[in-house]
Amino acid sequence: MTTQQVIALIVISAFVIGLFAYAYWFGRNEGRIQGQVASDREHKETIRQLKESLELLRNDHRHLADHAKRLEDANSLQEHHYHVLAEIGEALRIAADTWAAFKTGKKLERDGRRLRLEALNLANLLKPTEKEAAA
């Protein structure tokens, strides 16, 4: 080979090596970009799922907090209702005794005693839950 052919071979080889290096570098950058896009897509999907899960948990928390507040209110109302029903029972007992003493009406006396028993039964239904709440 002549000197010119050797130089031409070196130049052509350098050009081919440069071309392959450029193609490798360009392909590598494109692969990185596509990989980032794919991972960003996956991460966005994961973030979306986590946000949905967080929203569900927040809704559950709100629902449970509302339910706990209603239960707390119900417990305080039960104690109040128990006392009111006990007072109603006492008032009905006094009314029934009064009707019995005046002998004005057996039906009124009977109704008063029956309503008193019902009020006391309702009060007794509320009383055990009050004791359980204290325990």
**Per-residue pLDDT for 6 more than 60?**
yes
Tokens of 49: 């799922």
What pLDDT is stored for residue 131 in this prediction?
47
Q: Residue 124's pLDDT band (boundaries 50, 70, 90)?
A: confident
Number of domains comprising the chain: 1
Looking at per-residue pLDDT, the higher value among 100 and 44 belongs to 44
CA distances, 122 to each of 18, 76, 134, 135 (Å): 96, 16, 19, 21
What pLDDT is stored for residue 101 in this prediction?
79
Contact 120, 85 (CB under 8 A): yes
* Listed range (73-77, 86-90, 111-115) with the worst mean pLDDT: 73-77
